[in-house]
Chains A and B, each alone.
Chain A
Amino acid sequence: MAEERLDPEALSRLVSVGLEVGDESGLEVANLDFCLTALLGSPPFAGAVPVITRLHGDALRVTYFEVEDGRPED
Chain B
Amino acid sequence: MAVRRIDVRERVMTRNDELAAGVRERLRQAGVVALNLVSSPGSGKTTLLECTLEQLGEELDIAVITGDVQTQNDADRLARRTTRLVQAVVTGGACHLDALQVETALGALDLERTRLLFIENVGNLVCPASWDLGEEAKVVVFSVTEGEDKPLKYPKMFQQSRYAVLNKIDLLPHLRFDLDQAVANARQVNPQLRLFFTSAITGEGMDQWYAFLREHSRAVAPA
A positions within 8 Å CB-CB of B: 1, 5-6, 15, 18-19, 24-28, 58, 60-74
12 residue pairs of the A-B complex, CB under 8 angstroms, read: A5-B6, A15-B3, A24-B155, A24-B156, A26-B127, A27-B127, A61-B9, A63-B9, A64-B7, A64-B9, A65-B5, A66-B3
For chain B, give the interface size range: 20 to 34
Which A residues lie within 8 Å of B9 (CB)?
Answer: 61-64
| In contact, A72 and B13 (Cβ under 8 angstroms) | no
Q: Among B2, B8, B129, B157, which residue has its beta carbon within 8 angstroms of that of A71?
A: B2
Contact, CB under 8 Å: A63 / B2: no
Give the complex CA separation of A15 and B6 in angstroms: 11
In angstroms, Cα B1 to Cα A69, docked, is 7
Among candidates B6, B7, B11, B12, residue contacting A67 with C-beta atoms closer than 8 Å: B6
B12 is contacted by which of A18, A62, A69 (Cβ under 8 Å)? Answer: A62
Interface membership of B10, Cβ < 8 A = yes
Contacts of B155 in A (CB 8 A): 24
Contacts of A62 in B (CB 8 A): 8-10, 12
Return A32 CB to nearest CB of chain B, in Å. 10
Contacts of A60 in B (CB 8 A): 11-13, 130
> Given contacts A61-B10, A64-B6, A64-B7, are A26 and B130 in contact (CB under 8 A)?
yes
> Could you tell me which B residues sit within 8 Å of A by CB distance?
1-13, 126-127, 129-130, 155-157
| Cα–Cα, bound, A70→B2 (Å) | 7
Which residue on chain B has the smallest CB distance to residue A23? B156
In the complex, which of the residues B2, B4, B5, B129 contacts A72, with contact meaning CB atoms closer than 8 Å?
Answer: B2
Question: How long is the Cα–Cα vector from A6 to B130 in the complex, in angstroms?
Answer: 27
Contacts of B129 in A (CB 8 A): 26
CB pair A68–B1 under 8 Å, yes or no, is yes
- Determine whether the beta carbon of A73 is less than 8 Å from that of B2: yes
Q: Residue on A with the closest CB to B15? A: A1
Question: CB distance B2 to A5 under 8 Å?
Answer: no
Contacts A5-B8, A63-B7, A63-B9; is A71 near B1 (CB within 8 Å)? Answer: yes
B126: chain A residues at CB < 8 Å are 26-28
Chain A's nearest CB lies how many Å from the CB of B156? 5
**With A27-B130, A62-B10 known to touch, is A68 a contact of B3 (CB < 8 Å)?**
yes
Whole-angstrom CA separation of A5 from B4 in the bound complex: 14
- Interface residue from B2, B6, B10 paired with A74 (Cβ < 8 Å): B2
CB contacts (< 8 Å) of B3 on chain A: these are 15, 66-69
